[in-house]
Structure 1
Amino acid sequence: MNGPLLLGVRHHGPGSARAVRAALDARAPKILLVEGPPEADDLLPLAADPGMRPPVALLAHVPAEPGRAAFWPLADFSPEWVAVRWALARGVPVRFIDLPAAHTLALGGDHGDDGDDEPEPDPEAEPEPAPPGDEKGATPRAPGAASGAARLDPVAALAGTAGHDDPERWWEDVVEHRGRPRGDGTGDPDPFAPFAALGEAMAALRAAHGEDGHERDLVREAHMRLRLREARRAYGDEHVAVVCGAWHVPALARSVKVADDRALLRGLPKARVEVTWVPWTHRRLARQSGYGAGIDSPGWYGHLFTAPDRPVERWMTRIAGLLRDEDLLVSSAHVIEAVRLADTLAALRGRPLAGLTETMDAARAVLCEGSEVPLHLVRDRLVVGDVLGEVPDDAPAVPLHRDLARQQKSLRLRPEASDRELDLDLRKDTDAARSRLLHRLRLLGVHWGSPAVPRSAHTGTFRESWRLRWEPELAVRTAEAGVWGTTVLAAATAKARSAAVAARALADVTTLAEQCLLADLPDALPVVMRTLADRAALDADIGHLVQALPALVRTVRYGDVRGTDAAAPAQVAVGLAERVGVGLPPACAGLDADGAAQMREHLDTAHHAIALLAQQEGVPGAAELPDRWRRVLRALADRERVPGLLRGRCVRLLLDDGRLADGEAARLLGLALSPGAPPLEAAAWIEGFLAGGGMLLAHDERLLGLVDRWLTSVAPHAFTEVLPLLRRTFAEYEAGVRRTLGELLRRGPAAAGGARGAGPGGLPGFGPGADAERADAVLPTLRLLLAAP
């Protein structure tokens, strides 16, 4: 091999990585060229920094449009990473030779499937769907190339030629397990043979299929050839080594005129880009994440690359450790038997080494006792994994990212790739600062944390629960948020101010006000509240006012817990509540069924918000709100033009708050269910009155008797019309409540002479008297529990 050393690889493969290292040791080139964006050449020395721990990725983005970004992920078992580390350790110059990211991001990208590792587009950017077998990320489009051509999967094509129907399994056998140390400690005797064979195979595929959907790669290969020529002139052919996707090897070995290559590159659009290192995760390397060049089992591949010997034994030991951590019984004998079974399966299937399929089959049969449930845990935690890389502190980054990293360190909130539950007590300074940071990030669109249901039984505004999970694409979201400021506080403040001006709906402004208090943005809150007051004064829609009220009331509550000034939100909240009370009666008149259902939701929302606002101390005008609201509800309950659904709901709200005189609810129910009331209107009244739980009927035999007598008196022709409304009402009740009501109704009226404990309605067990016979029935069981004679 007198020419340049062309090392064609399949990316993120431990076998390819070992073969690259062996070939570089054997040739010892004086310069190394690697497929990647040339703008990152100055960042390559950081790969040797002790603080750099893969998986990591090169991130290129357009500063003016941070959402236009692409990643070049690298794991410790990626051939490119191994080659770069090899060169840096020996002082060999190393350069990236792929098409510059300035062109890649300006051109946009499609997906391909050639086993090549192209930049991964921003995961939230809605790329075009990839064809089956996709193994590639965004690729630059050659001028005039079709964007929808089907692309050849070289690995699948080679596996099919060899008579295998599983490309991944075939590749693992012939490449990933090749070169593993033998029993005598030796490896592959010819380090160049795998690359020569793979190069010939790719040349044959390209000769047989042509570009076959890879025409857009012609631009990239033209740039690679130009950079390769420069290195050959400077160092000589025999001193140059290239690590690139195996599909490109025939193109780099082919003789092409310089003028032709430059013609392909002429006139390409260009954008100004910035490049940096960012942490990556094994989960984002997995194909299931949507990454075009992803692999099925990054955790398994990482194990194959790092295990010094006996990989199957070490893998089974890791599985056993994971299952033991989950309190599953796994012994050393289980591990020994699982290893034996995996080796036996490999021998029966003619494989050189037990692969992932054999080890997982053995683990299912022996360690998991045939169950898929623990095996799913093994796949998630080990086969894919939650490993999160690290980058040095001195790596280039936008100022906002540096401020975020500083706060993460000071608050001891280390980013993790796995889900993490975080419970905060806002009475503690550190927890309050953590809460502010997470809320500010959410306002900026960096959703590192999402609110969760508290695991503890404690409730109250001084406790918060979060679910944290750091995803690599959050680096792009941080870069995007950098346009608002250089610190998290400044950026969140600027974003809130801008969002307040741009908000169209009143509810959006009140939600923003709540976010400002949660995130403690005192400089943004006056702007938001001024906008809120202006919008509320001009908006006459009751629905909009009601939707805006809950978030505003919550901000008043947060003021006490978080120590923030909630005087302005409280004043606006009281004004909104008063406007809702004045505008609700006319808004409820003359509504159809759909309008009444929507207004009922508004009614419940306003009722709970006003009750909560009235509980806040020190809010001017809040103490008078309950009485005003009670008068509004009573007026709606007595108004005939108001739909029955709303009138019944108003009576129920008044009853729950203790605002009705004794027996008044029964009187109003009797009027609503009188013979003169239309059955549909009466059914709607019942739906509004009984919605939200059936315990009221279970404990008040007067109301249950009224409903029962009305229902049995409905004419047959009207019963079919009211049945859907009643079924919808009672379907909301829990099964236990429905069973209790059924038992009460099954007993029917009391026998002549009355039953002990029966009330005026005739239903036993709910009257003022005690039923001694029924009460004595529990005595035997009670004596057993108390061990009494």
Structure 2
Amino acid sequence: MSERQTEGRAPGVALLGVRHHGPGSARAVAAALEQYRPDIVLIEGPAEADPLLALAAHRDMAPPVALLAHVVDDPAQAAFWPFAAFSPEWVALRHALEHEVPARFIDLPATHTFALAEQAVAHPEPPEQPAAAPLDPIAELARLAGHSDPEQWWDDAVEHRLPDGRGDALAPFRTIAEAMAELRPGGEATGEATERRSDLLREAYMRRQLRAAVRAGHRRVAVVCGAWHVPALAAKVPVGTDNARLKGLPKARVELTWVPWTHRRLSQSTGYGAGIASPGWYEHLFTSPDRTVVRWMTRVAAFLREEDHPVSSAHVIEAVRLAETLAAMRGRPLPGLAETTDAVRAVMCEGSDVPLALVQDRLVVGDRLGEVPDEAPAVPLQRDLTRLQRGLRLKPEPDERDLDLDLRKDTDAARSRLLHRLALLDIPWGRAGASRSGSTGTFRESWRLRWEPELAVAVAEAGIWGTTVGSAATARARDRAAHAGTLAEVTGLAEVCLLADLPEALPTVLKALADRAALDADVAHLAEALPALVRTLRYGDVRGTDATALRGLAEGLAVRICIGLPPACGSLDAEGAGAMAAHLGATHAAVALLCADGSPDRPEPERSALRERWTATLRVLAGRDTVPGLLRGRAVRLLLDDGQWDAGEAARQMGLALSLATPPADAAGWIEGFLAGGGMLLVHDTQLLGLVDDWISGVPEQAFPDVLPLLRRTFAGFEAGVRRTIGERVRGGAGGGAAGGGARTSDRPGFAAEPDRARAEAAAATAALLLGLAPHPGPADHPGLAPHPGLTDHPGLTEVQR
């Protein structure tokens, strides 16, 4: 350091300015500490974490990990301080523990950090003067060195440098300190108005801790901090100035613990320190003592071979040579990530970015998940969750994985309950999806699991509801029932209570459901609530839960829908009709499930009465002129699919709906509703197809532009094969009406009344050549075809001819 910067620094203090999560900085710190032999190590980090530092030496602690701090009364206010194996702070902490040297965190306590942040939100201050120093010191140093890429310059200057163990290990840090001093002229002595208030507070607290270490008698103090703070820690600042600045800071009650972290999260700008683009590459740089590029290319080749890409040792040799050549051409001391990536793309991936993307995701970034010992402090809910995860063999993993459950098995049923309870607590470890096996039974469930480090915050937040997952989910369900905004939300909650097996919460939810259902007269709300309520009745047999209390309520809702639906469907606009059509289909499916429930306490007459009432409601909708065509057509289709009306009655209803007296737009809506169940009906019923074809052909020219969008929307919902078959049938005259009197098959392009044997013979000969057989005798005037004896009766050719 320059004399100006060392003037106020106590003798025996080594300021090691680093870049967070830098492998070169980490190696340099390790070499400096080994040479300096400090009797205390001070590390930039929240001061309250000192009691947790000893856990870093635990055999079950494996980075990447992070310190998690959160406000006790508001766990959503949380912050992370991540550490990787190549983080300089982690290296310094491990050195202190291995050499039995005291270690301290000296940054501003989190209790002040959270309180100041909340204070700034509640009482925002006028914007401060812009800082004279650059916001990105590395970018400024790179610019002064004549480099346009700050990351590449820093890698070349620091991260790719290997300490040789022979020189002064503290020299690089003195050089960095001098560079930072030039970017912060005057430091605290003259330039405090140019610094951010948060930095001023943090640096004042760090100087206070440094003075305390010296007063405690430590003569060889090592300080590991961000390089930007080094000039401020070296500056001569009166004690009274720092005390005045730190006096009266607000406080918040906080708790801290260790949590697992991931390399993927290190690559994002979250929590403490800037995100890094390549944590997997940085870990490789830190752990490879020599032949860095060769070892990296070997790892890439092994990974690509595991992914079934043909990569050999020759590829490795050529990729290493290319990377070294590129580094020399670009004036870099060693190949960096850019050179190795270019070499991998050109040699091992053959210029393709597809396998290169796998390398980038799995190796350059990486998916490593750290581990934290059980002795680490945790909220009771987290401890219970950990116990359940181990008991059910559901290990938290950073990669997405699919989990198929068979709820007839005790372990899978318990896993399902856990995942549903966590979802209720807003801890989205798993997302439910459609069963990959294709089964629609209630005993199958599929989940996609992925554990994110931030879920530790969600667990801490959910801790206000209880100390175990079961009790917390029960309390959360009761609270949601009391504050639910809609009837559908309460019915959905009842379904979740059964899925999560929360019998203690179900009475509260059912009471809220009954109260809201009794007061809610909106048919749309009732129709929205019924499907979820009926689905819950299907879970009793599989999950061993009693859903009997819901049945009477569901039947009561169904009866009220039957009574209120016809008047509610009158005179709706297009948007309202579309929403009601969705409710109509969902209610129809729900009533069918409700009537299919053959429980002993529900005799057949009761189920038949509800079925007949719903059928009568559909008949009313189908025949009422004030109901939009979309809903009338949908009602007719539901009656047809249920066997309540036959095809003849459906054709009669269609004929009425598509008559000349019906406005074209309303008729198009009728067709849309009728065909919403699928287009195969028109493929198999030529009478209905002919009616549709007749109506479309007769739509007046001036009305056709208004009708066309509705028709396109209807037919676009059919599968491509169905659309093609319908078109062929219409073109071939397969329908009634105009379709039935259309062109003969012989008039269709590409078809004739009789087969063209001459053309068939030519095709047979070509097929014989493709099959490796001798040519079959063709017509006499066909060029290039000569008779071949002995092949006239070849069975393969006979089939081709046919």
- TM-score, with length taken from structure 1: 0.89
Map of 1:520-539 to 2, 5 A cutoff? 520-539=501-520
Do residues 216 (structure 1) and 198 (structure 2) align?
yes
Distance 1:350 1:569 in 2: 75
Q: Give the direction of change, closer, same or farther, for the CA distance of 1:773–1:409 in structure 2 (3 Å limit).
A: farther
Distance 1:382 1:731 in 2: 44
Candidates 162, 181, 194, aligned match of 1:203: 181
Partner of 2:773: none
Cα displacement string for residues 204-227 of structure 1 (whole angstroms, at most 9, x for unaligned residues): 011299676634200000001011
Do residues 153 (structure 1) and 101 (structure 2) align?
no
CA contact (8 A) 1:38 1:100 kept: yes
CA contact (8 A) 2:30 2:95 kept: yes
Q: Give the direction of change, closer, same or farther, for the CA distance of 1:704–1:386 in structure 2 (3 Å limit).
A: same
Report the residue type matching 1:199 in the other structure. A
User: How far off its partner does 1:292 sit?
Assistant: 5.2
% same residue: 65
Do residues 460 (structure 1) and 438 (structure 2) align?
no
Distance 2:315 2:494 in 1: 58
Map of 1:342-353 to 2, 5 A cutoff? 342-353=323-334
Candidates 20, 25, 35, aligned match of 1:26: 35
Do residues 94 (structure 1) and 115 (structure 2) align?
no
Do residues 406 (structure 1) and 387 (structure 2) align?
yes
Q: Give the direction of change, closer, same or farther, for the CA distance of 1:750–1:615 in structure 2 (3 Å limit).
A: closer
SS in 2 for 1:424: strand
Deviates more, 1:69-78 or 1:147-156: 147-156
Report the residue type matching 1:280 in the other structure. W
User: How far off its partner does 1:290 sit?
Assistant: 8.4
Partner of 1:162: 145
Report the residue type matching 1:320 in the other structure. A
Report the residue type matching 1:167 in the other structure. P
Candidates 270, 276, 280, aligned match of 2:251: 270
Do residues 75 (structure 1) and 53 (structure 2) align?
no
Bigger Cα Rg? 2
Deviates more, 1:551-560 or 1:632-641: 551-560
Partner of 2:639: 654
SS in 2 for 1:730: helix
Report the residue type matching 2:169 in the other structure. P
Report the residue type matching 2:670 in the other structure. W
Q: Give the direction of change, closer, same or farther, for the CA distance of 1:173–1:610 in structure 2 (3 Å limit).
A: same
SS in 2 for 1:534: helix
Distance 1:35 1:300 in 2: 24
SS in 1 for 2:256: strand
CA contact (8 A) 1:30 1:235 kept: no
Partner of 1:745: 730
Do residues 736 (structure 1) and 745 (structure 2) align?
no
Distance 2:735 2:421 in 1: 64
Q: Give the direction of change, closer, same or farther, for the CA distance of 1:230–1:108 in structure 2 (3 Å limit).
A: same
Partner of 1:4: 13
SS in 1 for 2:540: helix
Distance 2:73 2:196 in 1: 31
Distance 1:785 1:401 in 2: 73
Candidates 473, 476, 485, aligned match of 1:504: 485
Candidates 210, 231, 237, aligned match of 2:213: 231
Cα displacement string for residues 433-484 of structure 1 (whole angstroms, at most 9, x for unaligned residues): 1111111111101111111333223332111111111111100100111111
SS in 1 for 2:107: coil
Report the residue type matching 1:160 in the other structure. R
CA contact (8 A) 1:278 1:472 kept: yes
Cα displacement string for residues 151-184 of structure 1 (whole angstroms, at most 9, x for unaligned residues): 610111111111111111111111011125xxxx
Partner of 1:192: 170
Distance 1:751 1:520 in 2: 56
Do residues 693 (structure 1) and 678 (structure 2) align?
yes
User: How far off its partner does 1:721 sit?
Assistant: 2.4
Distance 1:80 1:459 in 2: 53
Candidates 177, 198, 204, aligned match of 2:160: 177
Distance 1:517 1:751 in 2: 52
Distance 2:374 2:228 in 1: 36
Q: Give the direction of change, closer, same or farther, for the CA distance of 1:188–1:742 in structure 2 (3 Å limit).
A: farther
SS in 2 for 1:296: coil
Map of 1:310-389 to 2, 5 A cutoff? 310-389=291-370
Cα displacement string for residues 466-521 of structure 1 (whole angstroms, at most 9, x for unaligned residues): 11111111001001111111100010011111111111111111111111111111
Cα displacement string for residues 704-741 of structure 1 (whole angstroms, at most 9, x for unaligned residues): 11111112122222222222222221222222222222
User: How far off its partner does 1:746 sit?
Assistant: 2.1
Partner of 1:670: 655
- Tell me the number of residue pairs that the alignment of Structure 1 and Structure 2 aligns: 743
Distance 2:245 2:433 in 1: 53
Report the residue type matching 2:243 in the other structure. R
Cα displacement string for residues 552-575 of structure 1 (whole angstroms, at most 9, x for unaligned residues): 122111222111111122222222
Cα displacement string for residues 580-607 of structure 1 (whole angstroms, at most 9, x for unaligned residues): 1111011011212222121111111111
SS in 2 for 1:235: coil
User: How far off its partner does 1:680 sit?
Assistant: 2.0
Distance 1:149 1:482 in 2: 41
Deviates more, 1:544-553 or 1:78-87: 544-553
Consecutive unaligned residues in structure 1, runs of 5 or more? 111-126, 129-139, 181-185, 766-770
Deviates more, 1:725-734 or 1:97-106: 725-734
Partner of 1:442: 423
User: How far off its partner does 1:671 sit?
Assistant: 0.9
Cα displacement string for residues 313-357 of structure 1 (whole angstroms, at most 9, x for unaligned residues): 111122112212211111121112111211111122121211111
Cα displacement string for residues 406-456 of structure 1 (whole angstroms, at most 9, x for unaligned residues): 111111111111111111111111111111111111110111111133322
Do residues 301 (structure 1) and 276 (structure 2) align?
no
Candidates 461, 472, 480, aligned match of 2:461: 480
Q: Give the direction of change, closer, same or farther, for the CA distance of 1:786–1:568 in structure 2 (3 Å limit).
A: farther
CA contact (8 A) 2:731 2:743 kept: no
Q: Give the direction of change, closer, same or farther, for the CA distance of 1:723–1:368 in structure 2 (3 Å limit).
A: same
Distance 2:735 2:137 in 1: 83
Distance 2:645 2:117 in 1: 67
Q: Give the direction of change, closer, same or farther, for the CA distance of 1:751–1:589 in structure 2 (3 Å limit).
A: closer
User: How far off its partner does 1:41 sit?
Assistant: 0.4
Partner of 1:552: 533
CA contact (8 A) 1:744 1:763 kept: no
Report the residue type matching 2:368 in the other structure. V
CA contact (8 A) 1:701 1:761 kept: no
Map of 1:59-138 to 2, 5 A cutoff? 59-108=68-117
User: How far off its partner does 1:148 sit?
Assistant: 8.7
User: How far off its partner does 1:745 sit?
Assistant: 2.1
Distance 1:763 1:543 in 2: 50
Candidates 658, 672, 684, aligned match of 2:669: 684
Partner of 1:702: 687
Candidates 581, 592, 595, aligned match of 1:611: 592
CA contact (8 A) 2:637 2:677 kept: no
What is the RMSD of the two structures over their aligned residues, measured on CA atoms? 2.9
Partner of 1:116: none
Distance 1:289 1:280 in 2: 11
Q: Give the direction of change, closer, same or farther, for the CA distance of 1:747–1:194 in structure 2 (3 Å limit).
A: same
SS in 2 for 1:717: coil
Report the residue type matching 1:228 in the other structure. L
Q: Give the direction of change, closer, same or farther, for the CA distance of 1:148–1:282 in structure 2 (3 Å limit).
A: farther
SS in 2 for 1:207: coil
Distance 1:750 1:264 in 2: 90
User: How far off its partner does 1:57 sit?
Assistant: 0.6
Deviates more, 1:213-222 or 1:195-204: 213-222
CA contact (8 A) 2:262 2:369 kept: yes
Report the residue type matching 2:13 in the other structure. P
Cα displacement string for residues 606-652 of structure 1 (whole angstroms, at most 9, x for unaligned residues): 11222222222217344543222111101110111111111111001
SS in 2 for 1:287: coil
Distance 1:500 1:763 in 2: 66
